């Protein structure tokens, strides 16, 4: 199966100064991240707040430059593209952000919001053809053509997120990056948007990077899941396999902490108790199963069972 997106050994380091005259300190956010997204597949990226999920999206979208490593989209290395090549690639690579309230310009009506990307890319100059594209795109996200003259403040959060989705889809992209697109919405609206995304993916054969905190959401939509911890991928597998056989203690702890109606809520992952510098594995200071071996290994993703990658040295030993 062809990979639409290949991210190879990606590093991203930010530099921060405490005071304007002090020396900038390195702040590594992404550390050796490699992943692939195949045609017509959804890769879910799960991990706690601040682990680097949005930074990965920004590097993939070209909003931030990588410090090291490669990002290949539709066979093109994005670090070697000219401005014009990037512009053409952006048609293929669209994004939906978390907050539908700040994603839309309040001064533009729906027609203007949908026409803006078409104008930037010089698409459908013929007005009848353009009108048809606008109506078809709105109907594909479950909105009526009557909404074309309305402004963002006249819509609910769920409807606004549909407009954001329409704005991304009007360019017929092959890849959609969705950075927590439903977490600002209430549960029933979340379900509508998730169903919509699933249908759009099937109809348009979209590849998707879907960022979420929520394992239930990831399970519903994603074909494959990658779990991130402190800027590193710690586990990656097909969704069914990951939910039935989670191998990494971090994934196990996250799954145990998912609340269920009527169920008992397990304690979330403990905070760090030991010095992380003593361990090769970044999760070791919080791991309930930490062993001497974790001082030397545990930060490299390796295949434990076919198609199931894990960075835990203990999981690897157990499955030998
Ligand atoms: N421009 C920046 N300069 C310096 N540090 C940054 C910058 N952007 C993000 N960071 C830091 O990088 C880390 C990862 O941020 P990121 O937004 O990728 O997290 P996240 O996993 O998306 O979190 P959340 O789930 O809360 O959205 C954070 O500690 C953040 O403070
Ligand atoms: Mg984020």
Instruction: Specify the DSSP class assigned to residue 22.
Output: S
Q: How far is CA 268 from its chain centroid?
A: 23
Q: What pTM value is reported for the model?
A: 0.92
User: Alpha carbon of 208 to those of 42, 189, 275, 295, 302: distances in Å?
Assistant: 5, 20, 37, 36, 24
Residue 268, pLDDT > 60, answer: no
pLDDT in tens, 25-63: 899 999 999 999 999 999 999 999 999 999 999 999 999
Using an 8 Å Cβ cutoff, are 67 and 11 in contact? yes
Q: How far is the CA of 230 from the centre of ligand 1 (A)?
A: 10
- Identify residues whose C-beta is under 5 A from ligand 2, the ion: 54
Residue nearest to atom 25 of ligand 1 (CA): 49
221: burial class by Cβ within 10 Å (0-12, 13-18, 19+)?
buried
Nearest ligand to the CA atom of 50: 1
Quick one: pLDDT at residue 269?
A: 62
Q: Which of 218-232, 269-283, 295-309 has the highest mean pLDDT?
A: 218-232
Residue 282: which of 57, 29, 68 has the closest Cα? 29
Q: Which domains does the chain have, with CATH numbers?
A: 3-244 (3.40.50.300), 254-320 (no CATH)
In order, the DSSP letters of 135-187 are: HHHHHHTT--GGGGG--GGGS-HHHHHHHHHHHHHTT--SEEEEESTTTTS-H
Mean pLDDT of 192-198: 89
Residue 8, pLDDT > 90, answer: yes
């Amino acid at each position: 199966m062809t990979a639409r997106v290949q991210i190879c050994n990606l590093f991203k380091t930010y530099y921060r100064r405490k005071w304007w005259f002090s020396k900038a300190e390195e702040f590594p956010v992404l550390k050796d991240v490699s992943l692939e997204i195949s045609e017509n597949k959804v890769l879910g990226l799960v991990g706690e707040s601040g682990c680097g999920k949005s930074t990965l999206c920004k590097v993939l979208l070209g909003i931030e430059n990588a410090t090291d490593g490669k990002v290949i989209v539709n066979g093109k290395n994005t670090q070697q593209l000219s401005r014009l090549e990037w512009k053409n690639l952006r048609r293929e690579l669209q994004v939906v952000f978390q907050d539908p309230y700040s994603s839309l310009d309040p001064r533009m009506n729906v027609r203007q919001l949908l026409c803006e990307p078409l104008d930037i890319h010089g698409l459908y100059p013929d007005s009848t053809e353009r009108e048809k594209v606008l109506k078809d795109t709105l109907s594909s996200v479950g909105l009526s053509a009557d909404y074309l003259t309305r402004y963002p403040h006249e819509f609910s959060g769920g409807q606004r997120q549909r407009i954001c989705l329409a704005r991304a889809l009007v360019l017929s992209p092959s890849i959609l990056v969705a950075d927590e697109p439903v977490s600002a919405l209430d549960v029933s609206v979340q379900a509508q948007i998730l169903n919509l995304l699933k249908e759009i993916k099937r109809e348009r054969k979209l590849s998707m990077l879907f960022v979420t905190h929520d394992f239930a959401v990831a399970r519903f939509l994603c074909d494959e899941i990658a779990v991130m911890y402190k800027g590193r991928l710690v586990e990656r597998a097909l969704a069914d396999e990951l939910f039935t056989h989670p191998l990494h203690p971090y994934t196990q702890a996250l799954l145990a902490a998912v609340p269920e109606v009527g169920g008992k809520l397990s304690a979330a992952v403990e905070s760090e108790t030991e010095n992380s510098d003593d361990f090769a594995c970044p999760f070791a200071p919080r791991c309930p199963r930490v062993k001497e071996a974790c001082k030397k290994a545990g930060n490299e993703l390796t295949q434990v069972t076919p198609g199931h990658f894990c960075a835990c040295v203990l999981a690897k030993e157990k499955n030998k």
